[in-house]
Amino acid sequence: MVPDSCSACGSRAVVNMSIQAAAIAEANDAFRAAIPFQGHQTYEGQVVFSGGVEEKGMLFVALATRAVAEFTDFSQLNDPSGDHSFGVVHVNEAEVFWAISLYNKTYDAAADDPLDDDDTRRVLTIYLPHEH
């Protein structure tokens, strides 16, 4: 659902999607970067690993987590919406995908307003391409 007003300024004007995407990108980047440090205080959420990633062992999971946390190589090709919600990293020569989805506090529906940090939760899924 697209919010009917800007949560940052309260304006009821049409939401500028590029400004919204930039704000979401900043939050997504902060959330990812904080993963090795037990999470972010403002941007709450969880990390989920696919079965394929878990089957590769704890070291692979740790390396994938670090690679995702450190990822900065966004471009128009791999991030057309500009919200930094998807990326591809390489771990021990294996390609690994990651995606961030934005949910409400109870994780049972999409976030009503992804800029409302109190009511938005992030789920970062780390998975292998064949699991897409």
Each residue's pLDDT tens digit, 26-80: 999 999 999 988 888 889 999 999 999 999 999 999 999 999 999 999 998 889 9
Structure tokens at 112: 């009503």
| Cβ contact 61:89 at 8 Å | no
Domain ranges in the chain? 17-131
Q: What is the pLDDT of residues 85-99, one digit of tens each?
A: 999 999 999 999 999
Q: pTM of the full predicted structure? A: 0.86
pLDDT of residue 1: 47
From CA 15, how far away is CA 87, in angstroms rounded? 25
pLDDT of residue 40: 87
pLDDT of residue 46: 96
Tokens 């939050």 sit at which residue?
27
pLDDT band at 13 (very low <50, low <70, confident <90, very high): low
Tokens 């990822």 sit at which residue?
71
pLDDT of residue 41: 84
Of 40, 36, 44, which is closest to residue 64 (Cα–Cα)? 36
What are phi and psi for residue 11, nearest 5 degrees?
A: -65, 140
